[in-house]
C-alpha cells in the first residue's frame, strides 16, 4: 500500500540525489538574494522538495549556508609533502593556499561569499572557524610547537584570514595583484614564527 502525498508536496525522483539538489539550489538562491532574503521554503520550492527535508539534512538555515558554501578542500592532496621543499613550511603553506584559490575560482567564490556572511552572523562565524581550524590543524599540526599550540594555530588562522580578506574581498592594491610566490615570501616567515618561534613570553620547544 502506498501512502498518499500531502497537498502540494512534490513527488521526489528516487534516482536524484536530493541532498545535492538542495545544496545546488541553496547556492543559487544565496547568491541571487543573499542570506537574509533567502528562505528555506524558497529553496524547497525551487529544488522541488519539502522544506522539512532540508531541515532533516541540514538543520538550520545557517547550517545549510555553511554546507552550501564551504569550500571542498582535499587537505591531504593540497598540502602533501609541505615540508619536502626548498621553502620553509610557512612559505610553502601560504603559496599552496593562494595557489589553490587561484586555480579554482568556483571554490574561491564560495569561500568569499561565506566570509562575507560570517562577518555579521555569529553562528556562521562559529562554523567557519571550526572549518578553518580543522584545515590548519590537518595541514600544519605536526609543525606546531607544543607550547601554547592552540594560540599558535589561532594566530596562523588570523594571519591567513586577513590575507584572504585583503586579497579577495577588499582587493587591497599590492596584495590583490601580488603573485602567490610574492605573498609566500612576505607572509611565510610570520607563519613560521607562529608555528615554532617566540610568540611572546613562551619559550619555543623546537
C-alpha cell at 143: 609543525
Asked whether residue 167 is domain-assigned, the answer is yes
Our CA angle for 160, 98, 107, nearest 5°, is 100
Tell me, what CATH number does 102's domain have? 1.10.357.10
Do 178 and 126 have their domain in common?
yes
Do 85 and 54 have their domain in common?
no
Tell me, what CATH number does 31's domain have? 1.10.10.60
C-alpha cell at 70: 564551504
Asked whether residue 130 is domain-assigned, the answer is yes
The domain in which residue 60 lies consists of 18-69
Do 31 and 114 have their domain in common?
no
Asked whether residue 203 is domain-assigned, the answer is no
Do 82 and 155 have their domain in common?
yes
Domains identified in the chain, total number: 2
Asked whether residue 206 is domain-assigned, the answer is no
Residue 34 pLDDT level (bands cut at 50, 70, 90)? confident
Do 62 and 89 have their domain in common?
no
At a CB cut-off of 8 Å and minimum separation 6, what does 9 contact?
A: 50
pLDDT in tens, 98-124: 999 999 988 888 888 888 888 889 989
Enclosing H/E stretch for 115: helix 105-118
Asked whether residue 113 is domain-assigned, the answer is yes
Do 105 and 65 have their domain in common?
no
* Residues 18, 47: Cα–Cα separation, whole Å: 8
The predicted structure's pLDDT at residue 103: 93
Asked whether residue 13 is domain-assigned, the answer is no
Q: What's the distance, CA 30 to chain centroid?
A: 16
pLDDT in tens, 164-200: 999 999 999 999 999 999 999 999 999 999 999 988 7
Across all residues in the chain, what is the average pLDDT?
88
Do 96 and 191 have their domain in common?
yes
Do 83 and 101 have their domain in common?
yes
Asked whether residue 1 is domain-assigned, the answer is no
pLDDT in tens, 46-63: 999 999 999 999 999 999
* Boundary (domain end) residue, out of 69, 93, 109: 69
Amino acid at each position: 500500500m502506498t501512502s498518499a502525498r500531502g497537498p502540494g508536496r512534490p513527488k521526489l525522483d528516487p534516482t536524484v540525489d536530493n541532498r545535492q539538489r538542495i545544496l545546488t539550489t541553496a547556492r543559487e538562491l544565496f547568491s541571487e538574494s543573499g542570506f537574509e532574503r533567502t528562505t528555506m521554503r524558497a529553496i524547497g520550492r525551487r529544488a522541488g522538495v519539502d522544506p522539512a527535508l532540508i531541515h532533516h539534512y541540514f538543520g538550520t538555515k545557517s547550517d545549510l549556508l555553511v554546507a552550501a558554501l564551504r569550500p571542498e578542500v582535499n587537505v591531504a592532496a593540497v598540502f602533501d609533502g609541505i615540508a619536502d621543499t626548498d621553502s620553509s613550511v610557512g612559505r610553502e603553506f601560504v603559496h599552496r593556499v593562494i595557489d589553490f584559490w587561484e586555480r579554482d575560482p568556483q571554490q574561491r567564490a564560495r569561500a568569499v561569499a561565506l566570509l562575507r556572511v560570517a562577518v555579521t552572523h555569529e553562528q556562521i562565524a562559529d562554523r567557519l572557524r571550526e572549518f578553518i581550524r580543522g584545515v590548519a590543524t590537518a595541514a600544519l599540526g605536526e609543525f606546531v610547537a607544543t607550547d601554547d599550540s592552540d594560540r599558535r594555530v589561532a594566530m596562523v588562522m588570523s594571519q591567513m584570514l586577513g590575507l584572504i580578506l585583503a586579497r579577495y574581498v577588499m582587493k587591497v592594491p599590492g596584495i590583490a595583484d601580488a603573485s602567490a610566490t610574492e605573498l609566500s615570501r612576505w607572509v611565510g616567515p610570520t607563519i613560521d614564527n607562529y608555528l615554532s618561534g617566540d610568540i611572546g613570553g613562551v619559550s619555543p620547544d623546537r
